[in-house]
Amino acid sequence: MDIVPKSVIEGLRLCGDDKLISGKAFEIIIEHACQTVLGNIAQNNEPDLSKENTNLSVAKQCHGSVTVLMLEAAKHDLQEEQLGMILDDCGLPQKQKEAFAFSYNHYKEDLRDKLSKVGRHAPNLVDVEWRLDYNLKNNRINKVNELQYTISLKQDNGEQVDLVCTRDELQDLVGKLKEASKALERASQI
Amino acid sequence: MFLRLSPENLQHLEFLRDAEDHLVQEFGSISLQFLANGINRKIFKAAAQKLEVDVGIIERAVIGLMKLFSEASKNGLEGTDFYDSLIALEFSNTNAETLNKLYSDCSKDTRHILAQCAPSLPVYEDLEWRLDVRLATRSLHQQLTPNVLLKFHITDGEKSEMKVMQTDPMNLIHTTRVLEEALEELKSNHVRRIVRTIQ
């Protein structure tokens, strides 16, 4: 499967050379690459390789290649054997192969979760708040005496949608949400 | 309960106090119509020409009646209270009866119109939903992600708008449960006691 460009394979091939990148440095680079993609480390932060015997320009190329392979493998949901074949193509020694495969298995779900959030979509509804008021009067009408709900729909973009509804309208709203939940439950059993 | 009107308002109604019955009927229906749909000034002019009086008098009389009806609706006046108030305002028996009939036919609608003018957040109208399973995106192949799209229809004054958002199974269940709790609260002793006490 041709899922990674040649330049990436070549970048990884360099990592197999112990004189350029030590085994320990390779592990540091893998961990750093994964954490950067997951957003746990700032993008301009560089891995600390001062204690390792490492060619810095190769380390950079290696970092880029590792990042691309991790992302492409997660994107295609590659299984271990498929990944193994690609790593064989790069001519990586057994120890480096294992280090990569270990990190891939460890971070795969997180990486896929991160990738699923890429792209344009409607804001996510993440929480809801409510308030129940008894309307007594206002400047237009004395004696309103009606129950009223105020609902705040919280979205993950920090915005919220506020609306008011009567008891009947809230019953309608909850009924429809329950319908959707049931449809979801039925679908999950297929 | 008696209706209390401002002296200015009482002056506006002066013209109608001794007017003929059919005129009161006509003015009454026009003012109710204006309450529902807004004022149409052409009608003032036409009426002024027909009755050969100053257009200002007509305008004030109609606005006076609108104020009378809306004040009565605001206070939720019952038919007999409204009638008695008119008699106290020195309307003749027949005129009071005519206006009372118009009032009882329309007071519910007028209250509804007034309620819409009260300050309020956008009002819930409807919810549409759609269930999707996302299979792949450019950045992630081979996925199986359930996704519920929610489209809220909301009216804010006269303008209606739609808010679209999506949610996942966990958040959908959470939202439904929280709102169910909100409905449950209606059955609580506290809410029931307050509603019963303030009627």
**Mutation test of the interface with chain B: which of A67, A82, A159, A184, choosing the one with the most B Cβ atoms within 10 A?**
A184
Starting from the edge strand earliest in sequence, which strands make up the sheet with B159-167, in order?
A125-135, A146-155, A160-165, B123-134, B145-156, B159-167
> How do the domains of chain A map onto residue ranges?
6-116, 125-189
Q: What is the pLDDT of residues B61-74, one digit of tens each?
A: 899 999 999 888 88
Interface of A with B in 145-184 (CB under 8 A): 145, 147, 149-151, 153, 155, 161-165, 167, 169-174, 176-181, 183-184
Residue B36: pLDDT over 90? no
CA of A23 vs chain B CAs: smallest distance (Å):
30
Considering A64-73, A134-143, B24-33, the range whose residues carry the highest mean pLDDT is A64-73
Confidence label for B109 from pLDDT (cuts 50, 70 and 90) = confident
CA of B124 vs chain A CAs: smallest distance (Å):
5
Of the two residues A108 and B91, the one the predictor is more confident about is: A108
Range B31-39 average pLDDT: 87
pLDDT, chain A, mean: 90
- Residues in chain B with CB shorter than 8 Å from the CB of A164 are 120-124
Rounded to an integer, what distance in angstroms lies between the CA atom of residue B96 and that of residue B106? 15
Confidence at residue B177, expressed as pLDDT on a 0 to 100 scale? 96
Question: Is B183 within 8 Å of chain A by CB?
Answer: yes
Task: Find out whether A180 and B148 touch, Cβ atoms under 8 Å.
Answer: yes
- Residues in chain B with CB shorter than 8 Å from the CB of A165 are 123-124
Among A124, A130, A187, the residue with its CB nearest the CB of B165 is A124
Question: Is A85 within 8 Å of chain B by CB?
Answer: no
Question: Is B136 within 8 Å of chain A by CB?
Answer: no
Range A112-141 average pLDDT: 90
Q: What is the pLDDT of residues B126-148, one digit of tens each?
A: 999 999 999 999 899 988 889 99
| Nearest residue in A to B170, CA atom | A126
Among A143, A145, A178, the residue with its CB nearest the CB of B176 is A178
> What percentage of chain B exceeds 90 in pLDDT?
33
Amino acid at A138: N
Confidence at residue B14, expressed as pLDDT on a 0 to 100 scale? 82
Confidence at residue B77, expressed as pLDDT on a 0 to 100 scale? 84
Look at A184 and B169 and tell me if their CB atoms are within 8 Å.
Answer: yes
Residue A149: pLDDT over 90? yes
Q: Which of A66-80, A96-110, A153-167, B9-23 has the lowest mean pLDDT?
A: B9-23
Residue B24: pLDDT over 80? yes
Which contacts of A30-36 are long-range, i.e. CB under 8 A and separated by 24 or more positions? A30/A66, A30/A70, A30/A99, A30/A100, A30/A103, A31/A103, A32/A63, A33/A63, A33/A66, A33/A67, A33/A70, A34/A70, A34/A103, A34/A107, A34/A111, A36/A67
Question: Is A188 within 8 Å of chain B by CB?
Answer: yes
Range B88-103 average pLDDT: 88
Look at A161 and B165 and tell me if their CB atoms are within 8 Å.
Answer: yes
Task: Find out whether A14 and A20 touch, Cβ atoms under 8 Å.
Answer: yes
Task: Find out whether A135 and A144 touch, Cβ atoms under 8 Å.
Answer: yes
Range B106-123 average pLDDT: 84
Q: What is the pLDDT of residues A38-57, one digit of tens each?
A: 999 887 888 887 777 778 88
Confidence at residue B89, expressed as pLDDT on a 0 to 100 scale? 84
∠ CA A159-A164-A168, nearest 5°, is 135
DSSP-assigned beta bridge partners for residue A135? A146
Confidence label for A1 from pLDDT (cuts 50, 70 and 90) = low
Range B13-37 average pLDDT: 85
Residue B99: pLDDT over 80? yes
Q: What is the ipTM of this complex?
A: 0.75
